[in-house]
Amino acid sequence: MHWNLDLPFAGTEIRRGDLMLSMIMVEDLWKSFRIPHEKRETILDHLAGALYVLEGKRYRYEEFWALRKVGFRIEHGESLGIIGPNGSGKSTLLKLVANVMRPDRGIIEVNGSLAPILELGIGFHGDLTVKENALVYGVLMGIKRSEMRKRIADVLSFAGLGRFQDAKLKNLSSGMQVRLAFSIAIETNAEIFLVDEALAVGDMEFQKKCLDKFREFKKQNKTIVLVSHDMGLVQSFCEKALYLMNGEARMFDTSNKATEEYLRDVKERRNQANGASDLQPRILS
Which DSSP category does 203 fall into?
Answer: -
User: The CATH number of the domain where 140 resides is what?
Assistant: 3.40.50.300
The residue-averaged pLDDT of 134-163 equals 92
CA 121 to chain CA centroid, Å, is 14
In the beta sheet, which residues pair with residue 226? 81, 195
User: Quick one: pLDDT band at residue 151, thresholds 50, 70, 90?
Assistant: very high
pLDDT at 52: 52
Say if 217 falls within a structural domain.
Answer: yes
pLDDT at 10: 33
- Best-predicted range by mean pLDDT among 65-74, 132-141, 275-284? 65-74
User: Quick one: pLDDT band at residue 116, thresholds 50, 70, 90?
Assistant: confident
Element (H, E) at 161: none
* Residue 34 phi, psi (nearest 5): -100, 125
User: Quick one: pLDDT band at residue 181, thresholds 50, 70, 90?
Assistant: confident
- What is the side-by-side strand order in the sheet with 105-110? 61-74, 24-36, 105-110
80 close to 10: Cβ distance less than 8 angstroms: no
What's the total number of domains in the chain?
1
In the beta sheet, which residues pair with residue 72? 26
Report the DSSP pairing between strands 79-83 and 240-245: parallel
Mean pLDDT (the chain) is 83
Res. 60: pLDDT tops 90? no
Contacts of 204 (CB under 8 A, 6+ apart): none
Say if 45 falls within a structural domain.
Answer: no
Positive/negative CA dihedral, 33, 39, 40, 42:
positive
User: Quick one: pLDDT band at residue 254, thresholds 50, 70, 90?
Assistant: very high
Amino acid letter for position 86: N
Residue bearing the bigger pLDDT, 215 or 41? 215
185-199: burial string, b at 16+ Cβ within 10 Å, e else: bbbbebbbbbbbbbb
CA angle centred on 184, ends 178 and 188, rounded to 5°: 140
User: Quick one: pLDDT band at residue 38, thresholds 50, 70, 90?
Assistant: low
Say if 276 falls within a structural domain.
Answer: no
Say if 55 falls within a structural domain.
Answer: no
User: Quick one: pLDDT band at residue 278, thresholds 50, 70, 90?
Assistant: low
Res. 142: pLDDT tops 90? no
Say if 213 falls within a structural domain.
Answer: yes
Give the number of C-alpha atoms closer than 13 A to the C-alpha of residue 77, restricted to the C-beta side.
10
Give the SS3 label for residue 81: strand
* Residue 134 phi, psi (nearest 5): -60, -40
* Residue 63 phi, psi (nearest 5): -85, 120
Rounded-to-integer distance, Cα 90 and Cα 226, Å: 10
Note the pLDDT tens digit of each residue in 166-179: 999 999 988 888 88
Could you list the residue range(s) of the whole structural domain that residue 184 is in? Answer: 77-263
Contacts of 84 (CB under 8 A, 6+ apart): 90, 243, 244, 245, 250, 262
Say if 211 falls within a structural domain.
Answer: yes
